[in-house]
Structure 1
Amino acid sequence: MSSTPAPAATSASVGSLMAFAAMGCVQLGLAASIGLAGSLGSEGVAWLRLAWAAVILVAIARPWRMRFTRATLGVCALLGLATAGMTLAFMKAVETIPLGTASALEFMGPLAVAIVQGRGAGRWWALVAAAGVLGLTEPWHGAADLAGVLFALAGAGCWALYVLLTQRAGDAVDGIGALAISMPVAALAATLVVGPEVIGRMDVQVLAIGLALALLLPVIPFSLELLALRRLTTAAFGTLMCLEPAIAMVVGFIFLQQVPRPAAIAGIVLVIVAGIGATRTGRRDPAKLSPTAQDPAATAAAAAQSIR
């Protein structure tokens, strides 16, 4: 006698496929960004993506229809600065180190938040993550470019701040509304930092490519993640997001011909294991939170994926 899958199981499977599709879109978009950086520069690509992301998110969320307190606006502004730092640092990192290595190193940010917020033995995952970093950077024979590693770690620090600020903004306002404020701030900050150097390089073709990249990175993944979070628990979603460094490694191998060293593969595996373990032990108390801020790893993935 044939049996049909339980609706909950089917919904979870669909949600998992959506989460994987979202991560795939993000990494493909990043790979395309690296290709464009050859002519526009990493700073130019980062600025272009932030600018288009700001336009798209403001058009979708229409923040002028929402009410924000002064404190919430301040948090969203700080969130925008963290966003700009994370995006610019990551694009600088992938100039000199492989996509998978940069993604895994930058993932140290939300992983650190999850470990600090962990309970008891959950904080031991920091040692697993540290072993992963050693495998990724191989300091014993300088396999990774030091500048690239430092930029990736700077991005990790900005991502950690992004997680904490997103949690605060998520407690006060709908996540899309917060992004509709933070993203223009990020675009403005990037304009002040790198705008004078890159605006002169823009033409109609580059702007059109930037719009396509922005659709590939913020719009499609963000939509898929929202749909996935309706079908998955935040713990399950956060666990799936921990697989992103592995997806980045595969995309880098296929599209950028970045062949990982055995130690780097081992390092990425350790980072993923640490991420899954920390996600399972690092959740905040759901009774004190809004539904959008219950899991630090899920919060990082659901919000930061849309702009990375």
Structure 2
Amino acid sequence: MTTTTPTPAPAAPKTGRAGGIALMLASPLSNQTGAAVGSLAFDVITPAGVVAVRQWIAALVLIATTRPGWRSFTRRQWLLVAALAVVFAVINLALYSAVDRIGLGLAVTLEFLGPLAVALVGSRRRVDVGCAVLAGAAVAVLMRPQPSTDYLGMGLALLAAVCWACYILLNHRLGRTLPGAQGTATACGLSGLVYLPVGSAVLIAHPPTPTAAVCAITAGVASSAVPFLFDALALRRVPAPLFAICMSLNPALAATTGLLVLGEQLQATQWASIAAIVAANAISILTRK
């Protein structure tokens, strides 16, 4: 998951549109590649160790780039920031633990149900109802009972989906009270502090090899710092709806990255389900005025 979603510009200039599209495609690709590389360190430092390193890097990058004015935060703003910090502390650990059990493609696909649900819940449009039915049928196929079904892994991915939905709602409220990404950066910093004792204990109990350390650091840079920068640059060049459609490609990119980097093999029905969930999101966005 990308650490934060920068506020889009009011209008995207025509110049640099091609560069914006390239950045849009590079952002989720970097995100999923980072997750795949990070998973290579699971056997050495566990998913918790990789998540700790990723949170520390994300906190440093976001705080350095946004420079929040903490002294001006109100009590209500701090409460929202604290709630978002809890979400940050849970979402990546839940997702990476799910990736360790069910693979990158399935984990990210189930996690993507979070933003899809936020987009569809409360809508009265028939097309959105149809998209919800399509996505629900796809999930039913993915989670149908089989001898190899890992329900704990799927449950962890769904927990990440709930966290992603909470992230969207909390970030929206914070965006109304704090300028830019100050709230998100502060929440990420608090989450990084939470992971200091946890991550330190894990890394002491499971000393990282040089390869594992590089993989964990790569996950932090590729899945947090790079997407944040690319998203901010892309939103200055392309319309927000086009950006949202590109973000819906995350499940497909995750499945492809899992295949190419990790050798994860998916069944034809699983590929079809992933495609259905991506299509449901894209159709919902394209049919809005």
TM-score in terms of structure 2 length: 0.87
Partner residue, 1:274: 280
User: What residue ranges of structure 1 are gaps of 5+ in the alignment?
Assistant: 1-6, 284-308
Partner residue, 1:239: 245
Partner residue, 1:219: 225
* Alignment: residue pair count: 276
Partner residue, 2:4: none
Are 2:13 and 2:236, in contact at CA under 8 Å, matched by a contact in 1? no
Distance 1:125 1:40 in 2: 40
Partner residue, 2:22: 17
CA root-mean-square deviation: 2.4
Q: Which has the higher contact order (CA 8 A, sep 6+)?
A: 2
Q: Does 1:158 align with 2:175?
A: no
Q: Does 1:93 align with 2:98?
A: yes
Which residue of the other structure, out of 119, 125, 131, is the alignment partner of 1:125? 131
Are 2:34 and 2:221, in contact at CA under 8 Å, matched by a contact in 1? no
Which letter does structure 1 place at the counterpart of 2:99?
V
- Compared CA separation, residues 199 and 188, structure 1 to 2 (3 A): farther
Q: Does 1:250 align with 2:272?
A: no
- Compared CA separation, residues 191 and 147, structure 1 to 2 (3 A): farther
Distance 1:58 1:9 in 2: 31
Partner residue, 2:141: 135
Percent identity, aligned pairs only, is: 30
1:45 Cα offset (Å): 0.7
Distance 2:123 2:238 in 1: 21
1:22 Cα offset (Å): 0.6
- Compared CA separation, residues 146 and 204, structure 1 to 2 (3 A): closer
1:35 Cα offset (Å): 0.1
TM-score in terms of structure 1 length: 0.82
Are 1:117 and 1:282, in contact at CA under 8 Å, matched by a contact in 2? no
Distance 1:235 1:155 in 2: 24
Distance 1:262 1:236 in 2: 28
Aligned pairs for 1:39-188 within 5 A:
39-64=44-69, 67-121=72-126, 122-137=128-143, 139-188=144-193
Q: Which runs of at least 4 in structure 1 moved beyond 6 Å after TM superposition?
A: none
SS in 2 for 1:103: helix
